[in-house]
Structure 1
Amino acid sequence: MAPTPPDGDHWTVPDDGRAWDHATAETNGVTLHTVTAGPEDGDLVVLLHGFPEFWYAWHHQIEPLAEAGYRVVAPDLRGYNCSEKPEGVRAYDIDELVADVVGLIDGISRDTAHVVGHDWGGLLAWYVAARGDVVDRLAILNAPHPSAYERALRSSPTQVAKSWYVFFFQLPILPEAAFRARDFRVIEEMLTDTAVRADAFSETDIRYYKTALGRPGALTAAVNYYRAMARRSARRLLTRAGAPELPVERPTLLLWGEQDRALDVSLTEGLDRWVSDLRIERFPDASHWVQFDAPERVTDSLLAHLAGGERTQ
């Protein structure tokens, strides 16, 4: 029996004939909605979206990866869109999120997977890869290594200024109210006003994003990611514990849109301290939404990296 969407009739994005399957996966005590594509015996690729996204963040990449022979799984992270939305900030601690991904991979009966993450999904992917036992090859899109980000918040006034929204998200109620105002107008502005390519996001894309974040409980869950991470940092400060080193020893590709208004390009520097096998590809004419500003180039780079090589220029 096919899984039923939470609203009874659709998974936010209508079925348009593409060979993508909607399913649910039980992992770490929560139920995640997933979109899957590609041969079941193909090497597993897990695509992790960011804020304020959902699985659809990867719609440019799913089909090409599947056609290349990969088994592609793009989940809605816990709290987002059609996935389960546990209550409380603690439910969105990074340890819980890591356990979700590890359990998802294990539930597909795989020992390892290639993991690709953007924004919050990228931050999560760094943590998952630091475990060292479930990630084969890692690809990150505009998401800083957590230790590099904490270092920047301590030493870079520029990055602190760009991270103003992280501090705003710590307030109760107000962030949710700001997002809901004028039919989630801020979501539209976040995407269209900061993307470099004028047509990076269509009106249909914007509607999908608003629908996903407008599901009951989804907005608070999304903001709780930031609240949980801030509380984790506060606990380390109170106990005088240093930032986690999080060494990553898997082959890693970092794709970075240099027109990112929230994350300074300096976050791509000095990463060899934590990442032993790293290649960085910069996109001067792309924003934080690099896979929308340069979808073909991002896809080509991912395919080359996952195959063990470099993108053909």
Structure 2
Amino acid sequence: MLHGYAQANGIRLHYVERGRGPLVILLHGFPDFWYSWRDQIPALAAAGYRVVAPDLRGYNESERPLGVEAYTLDVLAADVAALVLALGAERATVVGHDWGGLVAWHVAMHHPEVVSSLVIMNAPHPLAFRRELKHNWAQKRRSWYIGFFQLPWLPEAMLTMGNRWLLRRVLRRGGPAQNEAELAAYLAAFDGPGAMTAALNYYRALLQLRSRRPVTIQAPTLLIWGLRDRFLLPVLTEGTEAWVPRLERHEEPRARHWVQHDAAASVNARLLAFLSVTATG
């Protein structure tokens, strides 16, 4: 595993890299960093792909700009498009989970020239999410934290007080850290000054999202969904074909939100089968 840095869209992004071949970019979610893909990086590299997993801006070792406006989806998508080019590639398969999935949707819609194929894991299409938040009370209840994260300073205080017990709970109980060693790695990623504020600014910047006409995604797309997700209901996947005509679905009945860990072997097999048909060098 090689660690590197790239200047992309005016900031310095840290990433890990392994393997050679067609480029695959792996985008993590919240509260996460490149380590989110520890179960996928070796498998993809061994199968003949150049795998790059960046820390998204504000996370871990990547640069941490100040201000909510630095974390809008337009800015985040531009980071990824610029990173593809900075890595010396013209196009890549873009894979995203959670917030990384939302960014990946945005890249495919607004920077389609850099996307050869798209893989989304437990992240609804933005229009489907907007639809369900408007009409589905069950999904509204599950998304309560989005409203809470809009508050100034209080979410940071709660997540960091008392030896970060709440952050530890989020990471360990059904979260991405499956043992104490992994928990320590996640906690270390949030040690830097302003780290928690940068991560929460992703949610705060949602209010700055500009309304746009729907953009059809032409890239072949694989949607993987853990059905036991306690944050996002499966109904969020319904109707996705209207915006993504070349859509392939795969459900993991026993997996929770972090499907790439709960069903790593199955997810890797599905991902590799998809890439063997859609990835380009």
Shift in Å, 1:191: 3.3
Distance (Å, rounded) in 2 between the aligned partners of 1:189 and 1:293: 18
State the partner residue of 1:265: 234
Contact 2:31/2:171 (8 A) holds in 1? no
The structure 2 residue matched to 1:251, chosen from 205, 220, 225, is 220
SS across alignment from 1:308: helix
Contact 1:140/1:253 (8 A) holds in 2? yes
Contact 1:37/1:72 (8 A) holds in 2? yes
Distance (Å, rounded) in 2 between the aligned partners of 1:307 and 1:161: 39
| Structure 1 unaligned residues grouped into runs of 5+ | 1-19
Shift in Å, 1:244: 4.3
Distance (Å, rounded) in 2 between the aligned partners of 1:246 and 1:203: 43
Q: Is residue 2:121 matched to residue 1:141? A: yes
Higher helix share: 2
Q: Is residue 2:58 matched to residue 1:79? A: yes
Amino acid at match of 1:185: W
State the partner residue of 1:12: none
Q: Is residue 2:4 matched to residue 1:27? A: no
State the partner residue of 1:118: 97
Contact 1:46/1:72 (8 A) holds in 2? yes
Distance (Å, rounded) in 2 between the aligned partners of 1:219 and 1:117: 21
Computed over aligned residues only, the root mean square deviation of the Cα atoms, in angstroms, reads 1.4
Shift in Å, 1:292: 1.1
Contact 1:259/1:288 (8 A) holds in 2? yes
Q: Is residue 2:194 matched to residue 1:225? A: no
TM-score normalized by structure 1? 0.86
Distance 1:24 1:275, change over 3 A: same
1:22-101 to structure 2, matched below 5 A, reads 22-39=3-20, 42-101=21-80
> Greater shift after overlay, 208-217 or 260-269?
208-217
Amino acid at match of 2:242: R
Q: How many residue pairs get matched?
A: 277
Distance (Å, rounded) in 1 between the aligned partners of 2:177 and 2:200: 24
Distance (Å, rounded) in 1 between the aligned partners of 2:103 and 2:213: 14
Amino acid at match of 1:86: P
| Structure 2 unaligned residues grouped into runs of 5+ | none
State the partner residue of 1:8: none
Contact 2:71/2:202 (8 A) holds in 1? yes
The structure 2 residue matched to 1:283, chosen from 252, 268, 271, is 252
Distance (Å, rounded) in 1 between the aligned partners of 2:183 and 2:203: 23
Distance (Å, rounded) in 2 between the aligned partners of 1:213 and 1:259: 27
Amino acid at match of 2:128: A
Q: Deviations over 1:185-219 (max 9, x none)?
A: 22332233235xxx971111111111112221111
* Rg larger in structure: 1
Distance (Å, rounded) in 2 between the aligned partners of 1:204 and 1:21: 21
> Greater shift after overlay, 95-104 or 183-192?
183-192
Distance 1:244 1:52, change over 3 A: farther
Q: Is residue 2:140 matched to residue 1:163? A: no
Shift in Å, 1:64: 0.8
Contact 2:45/2:51 (8 A) holds in 1? yes
Shift in Å, 1:307: 0.8
Runs of 4+ aligned residues of structure 1 deviating over 3 Å after TM superposition are none
